[in-house]
Every structure is written in C-alpha cells, then in structure tokens.
Amino acid sequence: MAQGTQPSLRASWYLLGPAFVAAIAYVDPGNVAANVSSGAQYGYLLLWVIVVANVMAGLVQYLSAKLGLVTGQSLPRAIGKQMGRPLRLAFWVQAELVAIATDAAEIIGGAIALHILFNLPLLAGGVITGVVAMLLLTIQDRRGQILFERVITGLLFTIAIGFAASFFVATPPPGAVLGGLLPGFRGTESVLLAAAILGATVMPHAVYMHSGLALDRHGHPEPGPRRRRLLLVTRVDVVLAMAVAGTVNAAMLLVAAINLHNQDVTASIEGAYAAIHATLGPTIAVLFAVGLLASGLASSSVGAYAGAMIMKGLLHRSIPMMARRLITLCPAVLILAIGFDPTRTLVLSQVVLSFGLPFAVLPLVKLTSDRELMGDDRNHPVTTAIGWTVGVLVSVLNVLLIYLTLKG
C-alpha cells in the first residue's frame, strides 16, 4: 500500500500551485499599507480583522476554483452568461475599475520599495515596476502555466521572509496579540482601516481569477474519481496558500504595532522602514523593503493576468497583454506624478476593492449553489449559508463605512 500511495502523494503535490498565484493578491502592497497603518495607529486592535478576512478568503477562493473545475468556465464568463449585454457591460465596468485600483496599488508599492532601496524617484520606480511585471507575464505566455506558478510562489516566499524576518529580533507580547483577536473598533478611522484590510485580503480580482487558474492548470475533468481528487487537492492548495498569506498579513500588522505604535513616526510604509531600521537594524529593514518590492512585482503581474481574464470572460474579447499593461499603468503613474501621499492612496485603493467584493462573492455563491450548473458538486447548504453571510457582512461593512465617513 505504501508503494501505491507514494506516487499518488507526489502527483498530488505536483498539482498544487494555482492557489499560491491567487494568494499573491493577499500580500500585495495594498495589504502592506493597510496593515502597517492599522498597526501604527491602533496597535493590535485590528488583528482579528486579518484572521476573519483570511478565513473568508479561503472559502471564496475554494468556491471560485471549484466553479472553474466543475463547469469549465471562469467566474467572469459564468456571470456574463447570466446577463444581457447592457448589464454585462455595466458589470464589466465595475470589475475593470476594481482591476485598475488593484494595479495602482501594486505599482505604487513597487515604486515605494525602489525608492527605499535605491532612492529612485517614485515615478521612475512605478514605471520600472510595471515593465518588470510585464516581463514576468511573458513567462506565462512563453513557458506555460506551471513555470509561472513556480516563479510567483518563489516570490510569495520571498515576501514572507521579508516581512517575518523582524520576529527573529523582536517578538510581540502574547497578551497583546491575544487581545487583538477580540473583535472591536475605535472610531471611524478604525472602520475605514478594517474595510481596507478586508478589501486587501478578500480581493475581487483574485476571486475572479482563481476559477480561470484552476481551469488553465487542471482542465475540465468529468465527474468521477479524477474530479474528486482535484477538488481535494484544490482544498489543500487553498488552505496552504492562505495559511502563508494570513501569516504574512498578521506579521505586517504586528511589525507595525511593535515598531510604530505610540512612536513619533509617520504611519506610512516609509515610516515603518525607518522605524525598523532604527530599532532592528539595517539588515531587517532591507529585508522588509525587499519583501515589499517582491510584493509589488508579483502582484502587479498577477493583477494584469486577472484583468485580462475578466475582460475575456465578460466581453468575450481580449487585447494584447502589452496594451493592457500600458492602459492600467497610466492611472498609477498619474497618481505618482501628481504627488499624492502614496501610503494613503494605497489604503484608499483597498477600500475601493472592498466595494467591489459583493459583485464577485454574491454571484459566486449563487452559481456554486446551483444544482443545474454544478450537479452533485454544488455547495453544501451550510457552505451556501456561510457564503451568503460573508457577502452580506461585506456589504454591511461598506454601508457602515459610508455612513461613518459622511457623519465624520
């Protein structure tokens, strides 16, 4: 039996990968900005938001991958088939705005990292980030899906090392960490940051994209043992990838809480780097900046990949990746050229993403609960109930955010 199980295990490990590409979206520069701002301003208060958001993300990512495997369609395509042309165009517009906000965050994050590491002007750093991300995409075009997954996974672990390295020097007090796991807010700004964390963690473009990634990698298996095995491997893939992403996100907030909270420093990524440099030394600070750079490069290429998939699924059209890269690069470059505060822009971009979440999550839950579409692989009623709860909670948080912001 051992001889029969070992090759199966090796083959199963070989099938892992799509979730790790999607997980890059959960450790992008927008996450860094939202988590650093949260830790700097409120210490450990919003740590629970990261945990809850990570659990939500794991559920919706699995449902997205399952939709692709079972139906042979990406989520954007499956949504588009339920709509007439005018509604489909309107849906594409909001999805495209979310993709642009995503791309802006990745480019700005890479620009900040290059400024920290090499003192490059932010505008030049943004252009370089966009170009390098485009080169990463050529790996997928020319060398195939598997090598692209391996490169992105390598960058994911680079990000993890970069943001977790500081814990070898300074660790947070256990009591404060446990206190941060108790739900609570402290004013309007904490709700804004919670929405930013949620938008940065459960990212709409990653939800759309995972269905296509699973389909590109595994195809559309017929009902039977192979499909059951792929669904099992997909669950393991999602759990492992989200464990890495969740740990990295928690590390970002904890690093800021340790080094920036109640300190006379700017609640920004540059402020975090300066504080880490002063308290933990130049080596840890450089690793932090390298993690940020890897985050910007990897997530920008993944974001462009997702944007192309959304356009193809909803409009049934595709444009050359280079042209798309140039189009989505423009808003980020314009923001850098005007001189907006980059960290604040990153946080606000994540709030925009949180407003796009219901448009991705609610249709996903509906589609994966459809007996006619999914057959025996439709959601369990408990899964459906949890999925609807996630979608409603996200929507309520957004309404609350608007109310508190206008009231303030």
Q: Which two tokens stand for residue 149?
A: 């997954």
Contacts of 281 (CB under 8 A, 6+ apart): 169
List alpha helices for 72-144, DSSP H: 75-81, 85-118, 122-143
Q: Give the per-residue pLDDT at 269.
A: 82
d(CA 392, CA 402): 16
CB-CB contact of 325 with 300 (8 Å): no
d(CA 187, CA 175): 23
Mean pLDDT by 10 residues, the chain (408 residues): 42 69 84 86 94 92 95 94 88 86 85 93 92 82 78 89 85 91 88 79 85 88 90 92 91 88 72 85 92 89 83 82 74 86 78 81 94 94 92 78 63
Global pTM exceeds 0.85: yes
CB atoms within 10 A of CB 279: 16
Q: Give the per-residue pLDDT at 378.
A: 95
Q: Is the dihedral of CA 192, 194, 195, 201 positive or negative?
A: positive
Contacts of 273 (CB under 8 A, 6+ apart): 116, 285, 288, 289
CA-based end-to-end distance of the chain: 66
- What is the amino acid identity at position 274? A
Q: Give the per-residue pLDDT at 68.
A: 94
Give the CATH fold of the 15-407 domain.
Answer: Amino acid/polyamine transporter I (1.20.1740)
Q: Give the per-residue pLDDT at 4.
A: 41
d(CA 206, CA 98): 11
Q: Give the per-residue pLDDT at 382.
A: 94
Task: Identify the CA nearest to 314 among candidates 81, 106, 61, 28.
Answer: 81
